[in-house]
Structure 1
Amino acid sequence: MSEETQNTAQLGEKIVEVLKTIFDPEIPVDIYELGLIYDVFVNEDNDVKVLMTLTTPNCPVAETLPVEVEEKIKSIDEVNEAEVEITFDPPWSQDLMSEEAKLELGLL
């Protein structure tokens, strides 16, 4: 593994840690465990792009949650730029939640 790949992987882990500090206001589980984060891309310039969804298109935090995600990722020293893209394809469902999230919400 090249040093660059290793640095990118470490940054990816830091990003996941930050994402786990952001909670959906309606569900007491972080957005990562909820399965709202579809993908995190980090390039060699440490530009980050997050592909995420919301529980519903008219989610009450549709305006603020992506901004919070972007701001928190930008707060990581190594991150150069951060961009959050919202998608509803595929639409979010409970199947995307981690076992931990399902357990937390009494779905298991």
Structure 2
Amino acid sequence: MEEDNEDIADKIIGVIKTIYDPEIPIDIYELGLIYDIFTNEDKDIKILMTLTSPNCPVAETLPVEVEEKVKSIDEVNNVEVEITFDPPWDKNLISEEGQLELGML
């Protein structure tokens, strides 16, 4: 059963990597906006994410886009996206790949 969850997690990450922050030209996964992805045996998904700031211009639409795209995966049952600002996002959360894309390394 664990392999199924890993397979689904990989698919979820793949879908999330198609979503971009409008202000920073890398996907939200590499940007470090996804804090955690939880999957239960019923294939219910909970995604804990943040935004670059509480005043982010896509605060209303980005979580909805994450939810809708993850729901489009056949194996997924329900999706809940929770926004948190604890800890607040900062540029240190950008992955090494993201930092390379942004010319930070």
Q: Give the TM interval when normalised to the shorter protein.
A: over 0.9
5+ long unaligned stretches in structure 2? none
2:42 to 45, 48, 52: 45
TM-score, L = length of structure 1: 0.96
| Corresponding residue number in structure 2 for 1:35 | 32
CA displacement at 1:13 relative to structure 2:
0.6
Q: 1:85 aligns with which of 64, 82, 85?
A: 82
Report how many aligned residue pairs link the two structures: 105
Equivalent in 19, 24, 29 of residue 21 of structure 2: 24
1:28 Cα deviation after fit? 0.6
The CA deviation at 1:105 is 1.1
**Unpaired segments ≥5 residues, structure 1:** none
Q: Is 2:89 aligned against 1:105? A: no
Deviation at 1:45, TM superposition (A): 0.1
DSSP-derived class of the 1:72 partner: helix
Deviation >2 Å, runs of 4+: none
Amino acid aligned to 2:24 = I
Counterpart mapping for 1:51-90 below 5 A? 51-90=48-87
CA shift for structure 1 position 107 = 1.2
How far does residue 68 in structure 1 lie from its aligned partner after superposition? 0.1
Q: What SS is found at the alignment partner of 2:27? A: coil
